[in-house]
Structure 1
Amino acid sequence: MSEAQKKRVKRDLSGWLVFNKPYDMSSTEAVGKLRWLYGAKKAGHAGTLDPLATGILPIAFGEATKTVPIVQDGIKIYHFDIVWGTATSTDDIEGEVIATSDVRPSREALDAILPRFTGLITQIPPAFSAIRIGGERAYDLARAGHKLDMPPREVEIDALDVIEHTPERARLSVTCSKGTYVRALARDIAEALDTKGHVGALHRARVGNFTDSDAITLEQVEAVDLAARDALLLPVAAGLADLPEIRLDARQAATIRLGNPVLLTGRDAPIALDDAWASLKGEAVALGFVEAGQFKPRRVILG
């Protein structure tokens, strides 16, 4: 069997690829390409990244897809450029210029305004976003020329710092919660500085426990054979580092895998946890919770 044929055999493959998504590739395209390269039966991603953005797009294969919501809920870090003086219809470089300003904020003015955008803040998402309005994606309605009244949302900004600043653009780093629109953040920072602005570049440096140091490029995946590609994957458990871990013995793991709860014993055994994951020798067995000293599985992860 040729290498090309081997790639097309659908495999029961499980694990995470921390993909460094290139510019001008959609998240859906990335999943499709990598699923094909790995010959995987099942794949998905943990959090959409705009085509014009680069950086961390965690790709889940097989049983790892069951843990996608955990990774999606993790902290995000973005590095982004604000281009001063122009607002666009999409709040990034892809849109048409809709307003301009001659104001170029100083570094001191930018530093002074950032505390307004930390903590719990309210955003109005860009019209060109994936939010559903009346069952349709906002970006489809916006492209069709509809004037949209985007519903505001609350998001959590943990940190917001200036990396570089020039009269024409500034680079910032933001640590934020799921659902934050960096394009809206850039737009609103510019407005608060009595000017206009849009995102000129966007890079996601972290999703949950996955960072740039874990990232694998498409070229790295394509450059090696199937066995070496498999070696690039992280285990299913790699996406669960932010949750409490419940370590099981073989008997308990067998019980959990049948969908049944187990009583946790030992001096440090927890009595109650809203969310946790159970492991056997470091491998993920199930997602669940602890109630009255019992671990109760919500989703069993097949070995």
Structure 2
Amino acid sequence: MARTKKGRAVSGWVVIDKPAGITSTAVVNKVKWAFQAQKAGHAGTLDPAATGVLAVALGEATKTVPYITDALKCYRFMVRLGVATTTDDAEGEVLETRDSRPDDAGIEAALSGFRGEIMQIPPQFSAVKVEGERAYDLARDGVEMELAARPLWVERLSLVARPDPDHVELEMVCGKGGYVRSIARDLGQGLGCLGHVAWLRRVWSGPFEADKGVSMDRIEDLARSEDIDALLLPLELGLADLPELPATPEGAARLKNGNPGMVIASTAAYGDEAWASYQGRPVAVGIYKSGELHPSRVFNL
């Protein structure tokens, strides 16, 4: 006998404006509990001290998580100059201090080296795996690691404000896998004054904006009530960067069974990844070929 899944078969996105002091995993668990959802996940971890967009996927929306993870994201953050820490943020212990401070022109010049395709070494305190263990676990045990540099696309990195000689507010738009703490660390090193992240906020992630996000207090207030579903956003928002292909009735039936199905022509070119809809509802994601969508993920809605 098939095992019955616990919880409701609820699907969609919940955009949380994450407060500081809570882990991303704790947010997902709370949202899952509040909605009594069978399944939940998130599209991109935020450090406990960070705030801003944490997009939580429920049910079938978890199948669209990779598309939000791959989307561009915007971060606003403050760099504290003159101090290096063990964690590259304000949570860590001070490693070294320096008295020199660059002028605004020096900062602007240094920022140019962090735009475009760059190579970035993750912080020692990060979730990167080293021989099967998380780097942050090894770092807590006092192990110093040589982490491999990783590529990062930085669309934009700009100076927003210089409130005083010790602080620089920056805004960065980048691709997936970026560590803002590494930007602060490497910028400080490049300027010769050292630096770390004082605070960090993810302003937007793909189609989701922090200012339109839901607070954890709101989740608590509506938890396990009939009104909480009003906070759900459509599953298809996770597919915003892919072309939509309306399916024919026969095509939709075939797609739901995991088979290639006929779709109505759109702007998609042969070999493009796209998603099919039928009567306004998402049916599948896949590759468009000669009038058909060949599904890689099917939505059971």
The TM tier, using the shorter chain, reads over 0.9
TM-score by length of 1: 0.93
Name 1:5's counterpart in structure 2.
none
* Equivalent in the alignment of 1:235: 234
Cα distance in 2, alignment partners of residues 168 and 238 from structure 1 = 40
Listed as ranges, the gaps of 5+ residues in structure 1 are 1-8
**Counterparts of 2:194 and 2:74, CA distance in 1:** 24
**Equivalent residue pairs, number:** 294
Q: Is residue 300 of structure 1 aligned with residue 293 of structure 2?
A: no
Measure the CA separation in 2 of the matches of 1:27 and 1:161: 27
Paired residues of 2:275 and 2:284 also in contact (CA < 8 A): yes
How far 1:271 sits from its partner (Å)? 4.6
For residues 198-253 of structure 1, what are the alpha-carbon distances to aligned partners after superposition, in whole Å with 9 as ceiling and x for unaligned? 00000011111111243111112222362221011101101111111111233321
Partner residue of 1:285 out of 280, 283, 286: 283
Q: d(CA) in 1 for partners of 2:249 and 2:263?
A: 13
Paired position in structure 1 for 2:246: 247
- Counterparts of 1:43-192 in structure 2, within 5 Å, are 43-165=40-162, 166-192=164-190
Cα distance between partner residues in 2 of 1:84 and 1:236: 42
Structure 2: runs of 5+ lacking an equivalent: 1-5
Structural RMSD (CA): 1.4
User: Distance between the aligned counterparts of 2:279 and 2:170, measured in 1?
Assistant: 41
Deviating more after overlay: 46-55 vs 100-109: 100-109
Contact 1:91–1:199 (8 Å) recurs in 2: yes
* Compared CA separation, residues 47 and 34, structure 1 to 2 (3 A): same
Q: Does the CA contact (< 8 Å) of 1:269 and 1:293 recur in 2?
A: no
Q: Deviations over 1:169-198 (max 9, x none)?
A: 111100001001100001111111111100
* Structure 2: distance between partners of 1:151 and 1:96: 23
User: Partners of 1:189 and 1:49 in 2: how far apart?
Assistant: 21
After superposing the two structures, state which structure 1 stretch, 101-110 or 169-178, moved more.
101-110
Q: CA separation of 1:239/1:55 partners in 2, compared to 1, >3 Å: closer, same or farther?
A: same
The Cα of 1:288 is off from its aligned counterpart by 0.7
TM-score computed with the length of structure 2 as normaliser: 0.94
Identity %: 44
**1:210 maps to which residue?**
208
Q: Tell me which amino acid in the other structure corresponds to 2:188.
A: A
Structure 1 residues 114 and 123, CA gap change in structure 2 (3 angstroms): same
Q: Distance in 2 between matches of 1:72 and 1:147?
A: 29
SS of match in other structure, 2:272: strand
Shift of 1:44: 0.8
User: For 1:244 and 1:129, how far apart are their aligned partners in 2?
Assistant: 35
- Once the two structures are TM-superposed, the CA of residue 265 in structure 1 deviates from its matched residue by 4.5
Task: Work out which of the residue numbers 9, 13, 19 in structure 2 matches 1:12.
Answer: 9
Contact 1:102 1:195 in 2 (8 A): yes
Following the alignment from structure 2 to structure 1, what is the Cα–Cα distance between the partners of residues 202 and 53? Answer: 5
Closer, same or farther in 2 for the Cα pair 1:188/1:275, shift >3 Å?
Answer: same
Q: Deviations over 1:65-123 (max 9, x none)?
A: 11111111111110111001100010001111111110122222111221111000111
One-letter code aligned to 2:141: A
Q: Tell whether the 8 Å contact from 1:31 to 1:59 is kept in structure 2 after alignment.
A: yes
